[in-house]
A and B are shown apart, each in its own frame.
Chain A
Amino acid sequence: MNETIATMSSPASPRISPSPRGAADRAPLPWRFLALLLMVMLAGIRPAQAVLPIEQWTTRQGARVLFVRADAIPMLDVAVHFDAGGRHASPDRAGLASLTAALLDSGAGALDEDAFAERFARTGAQRSASAGADGTTVTLRTLVSERELGEAVRLTASMIGSPSFPQAALVREKVRLVARLRESATQPAAIAQRRFDELLFAGHPYGRSATVETVSAIEAEDLRAFHARNYAASRAVIAMIGAVTRERAEAIAETLLGDLGRGPSAPQPGTSEVALGASAPPPEALPPAPAPQVLRIAHPASQSHLLLGLRGVAYDDPDLLALQWANHVLGGGGFTSRLYAEVREKRGLAYSVYSYFAPRSQPGPFVIGLQTRKDQAERALEVVRETLERFVREGPTDEELAAARANLIGGFPLKLDSNRKILSQLTLIGVHRLPIDWLERWPERLAAISREDVMRALARHLDPSQLVTVIVGAPESRQ
């Protein structure tokens, strides 16, 4: 009964990249922030002192660690990232990366599933393990009291390093995953997302989703092999923030990866480090972009779910920031965006309408999404297309750009105001090998972009004539 409903839905996806938030808590961080912002905005001068004092080192096994000490709350947040995404699973085993992550805690080390769950629960800590196309991330949030911290870290290390992947748990989790897949195949939003990904990235891991068939084909041996090959300490990235000393943080990082290579899925003696994945296979090249098209899928829901989009950019694309700035004006800026004004505010066509770039290791999607009553879906589609075309043709106005920049730069402190937000920034920097001052120079880099840069970036990456569109619950007359 804690249900609440809001004026605007939460964005479907991260809307703007640096969600850095502040607060290393140690002391006069706010001063440094304000000083930085002032400097950036007045003169573009780089401060001598770091806004976010990130410490970094490499573990004995070669993992990169990024750490921020934050003493204000007696807790520690950790994210361990592996280059163990869906791209490493063969197409006929789509879902393998997710299933591997889901089964990490189904028994590990000497503990069976219930015992592991019991021991972990007794620490009061929280954990997660999830896989995307590009990687797998295990997170831990724990108190820093000696007993709880030590136990939570040891258990997390054992699920990372020596999961036992018991047959009974695998059978069960496959059944549960299949049930979820069947369920989502009835839901318009999920159907739209799957078909959209398939259209935009056909033949590439970004376009693959687990199906009943691929999940059913996965066996325990597949999990063990996937884990052994891809959960490689040497290619791991660990992000940490919390109330521990650097010394303690170093020990924790070593412990977290300490079980790798010792569990049942450890490689047989004689396997070389290279075979272990010291260097991962390069990502599959993206196939040619799909022809522009509109896919209409029947569904009995009262609303049509629309997704429009095209291939966007990768994390290392020099145009990324300009595009994110532009997208803030188009559909990323919540209540102030053009799509919001045209689709919702002026015409009342939808409750939720948004756009975003989802940068990935390789060019990820640019997406516009909305849902509207079936009989006005075509009209909404027209409005969105016209809004996008005009936006790309004429570009954002100077006023719009100034307003977006004011929000993004002025709101910089908000991007770093909790440990959780900082953790995600640290992970981003580590995983995408961004410069260590990437975060603090972000406002400065944004301030240096011109309107012409934005126009060029839009011209390069956002061609409305290439849109791929999926409509689930298409108007009856068009089905």
Chain B
Amino acid sequence: MVSVSFRHLATSCACRLAHGFHWPAGLLLLLLALTLQIPAFAAQTVYETRLENGLKVLIKPDRRAPSVVQLLAYRVGSVDEHDGITGISHLLEHMMFKGTPTVASGEFSRRVSAAGGRDNAFTSRDYTGYFQQVPSSKLPEMMALEADRMSHLVLSEKEFATEREVVIEERRLRTEDRARALVSEQLMAAAFVASPYRHPIVGWMSDLKTMALADLESWYRKWYSPGNATLVIVGDVDPEEALELARQHYGPIRASSIPERKSRIEPAQRGPREAVVRAPAETPYLLMGFKVPSLERIEGDIDPFALEMLAAVLSGDDNARLARRLVRGTRVADQAFASYDMTGRGPALFMLGGAPARGQTAAALRTALIAQIREIADQGVEPAELERLRIQYVASRVFQRDSLMAQAMELAGFEMVGLGWQAADRMLDRIREVEPEQVREVARRLFDEDTLTVVTLDPQPIAPRRPAARPAAAQPNARH
């Protein structure tokens, strides 16, 4: 391990308001201001509290326009699922629009629409989120609706029968008929044996077909409770008023115990794994995943931040190494990327992949991608490369403030993976602190072929070869 010097110029304070608010005044990113010559800007101001029933509430005022986002996130996703019921979190997410005793099926979205808003929901491996964006005067009504379906969902056989078909169509659309999506699905399934990250979020087809309403009912009772949820409000609100509203609407919901989550640790991989997907396509495609550490402790960990920088050095911008060398330089690839997400409730993969250029092969691209990692392991990276990327991290964080939804998603996401919403600001600092030698060091140490999984797309023609077109040699028994 290489030692790291923390450049800690950030300040923070946690002030306490009268009624139990913790309000961490923004961390002033002075460092950033100094190096970038941009005006110091305060990091986000977020008001945090927890209701007595366990619901965590995060409120982030952004009063540029009379618009507000409510995002309610439940810590349940495909990572919580087991064989036989894969896809259940996502299927339940669909069923959440099917009504309660006081709100008829479909009425939820009609009310959001009548309020001038839009709504949707999403499921990831780690959590499930429901959101509405509405004129700020409509927030109380949105809270009433969202609180209602936290504990009063009505699950009917009839609605379920139809929605199951919808989700099956969704799986066809997203995965079955998309060659590269099949490759991604196969990579996760091959890379992970015990970790539920092996399952697709949408679920395996046969599980979707055999899921029962009773499965959904128990999933709902198990995970949809205030203690397993975080409410995020971003937009044109007075934080105290918004908190009062949250108390009023969500406060009465009864607390319930959250089931124990058994850890399902992925065993060490003891050798490379390879798979081939044959599906209609024109161009071969390659996806590789190395098992690498994920982020556990923001202040203590170093590897995840160095890996983040490594991915960025390889494909963080137009002039990153893979684009410059493999796409524009040697032309082994038409497309090449590296990616790494350090956050997640399950294990992490460092991904490399792309599409070989015409006349090249997936095998040649694989060799070229590995060679790029090896080169960094041997020779390291230039300080200028990191400096350029640091600016981009800071800039994209500034740009992100333009979108209420992006801000809400970030807060919810960090809460749901267990890092806490404050992580975003600290992670930016930690990424910016990464030294060239640390990048070299992870490139040298963490890319062990024994933890590698490779999936290759073998493209198949879309026109079925008709018997007439077959060469005679293929029909030895044909009579004339």
Contact = CB atoms under 8 A, between A and B. Distances in A.
Contacts of B67: 21-23, 413-414, 417
A452 interface: no
Contacts of A372: 169
A293 B173 CA distance: 25
A373 interface: yes
A143 B395 CA distance: 7
Interface in B137-190: 138, 161-170, 172-174, 176-179, 184
Nearest to B346: A1
B65 interface: yes
Given A121-B388, A417-B64, A6 B116 contact: no
B403 to A, nearest CB: 5
Contacts of B133: 414
Interface in A1-40: 1-9, 21-25, 29-30, 33-34
B328 A114 contact: yes
Interface in B401-430: 401-404
A206 to B, nearest CB: 26
Q: What's the interface size class on B, roughly? A: 35 or more
B172 A30 contact: no
Interface in A188-214: 188
B124 interface: yes
A252 B202 CA distance: 47
Given A172-B331, A175-B334, A414-B67, A7 B118 contact: no
Interface in B9-36: 36
Contacts of B201: 3-5
A125 B281 CA distance: 35
B120 interface: yes
A143 B163 contact: no
Contacts of A70: 64
B66 interface: yes
A190 to B, nearest CB: 11
Interface in A54-96: 70, 72-75
B368 to A, nearest CB: 16
Looking at chain A's contact residues, is the secondary structure mostly helix, strand, loop, or mixed?
A: mixed
A2 B416 CA distance: 13
Interface string A343-355: 0111111111000
Nearest to B161: A348
A348 B113 contact: no
Interface stretch (A280-288, A294-302, A383-391, A460-468): A294-302
B282 A414 contact: no
A424 interface: no
A226 interface: no
A52 to B, nearest CB: 10
Contact of A123 (B114, B165, B168, B391): B391
B110 A403 contact: yes
A153 B83 CA distance: 54
A118 B135 contact: no
B188 to A, nearest CB: 8
Interface in A315-340: 333-336
A179 B359 CA distance: 11
A179 B283 CA distance: 7
B63 interface: yes
Contacts of B281: 183, 186
Contacts of B114: 403, 406-407, 410
Nearest to B159: A345
Contact of A412 (B116, B125, B324, B355): B116
A169 B331 CA distance: 11
Interface in B82-129: 90, 93-94, 97, 106, 109-110, 113-125, 129
Interface string B311-339: 00000011100011001100100110000
B116 A74 contact: no
A341 B119 CA distance: 16
B124 A4 contact: yes
Interface of B: 36-39, 41, 63-67, 90, 93-94, 97, 106, 109-110, 113-125, 129, 133-136, 138, 161-170, 172-174, 176-179, 184, 197, 201-202, 235-236, 280-283, 317-319, 323-324, 327-328, 331, 334-335, 341, 344, 348-349, 355, 357-358, 387-388, 391-392, 394-396, 398-399, 401-404, 459, 462-464
The 6 closest A-B pairs by CB, nearest first: A410-B116, A124-B395, A348-B165, A22-B65, A145-B38, A23-B65
14 contacts: A3-B124, A3-B125, A72-B64, A121-B318, A122-B391, A125-B395, A141-B399, A176-B334, A299-B462, A341-B106, A348-B164, A407-B117, A417-B64, A417-B66
Given A7-B94, A7-B122, A22-B66, 17 more contacts: A1-B349, A3-B201, A6-B123, A8-B120, A22-B64, A114-B319, A117-B318, A120-B318, A121-B318, A124-B394, A172-B331, A176-B334, A302-B177, A345-B106, A347-B162, A418-B402, A418-B403
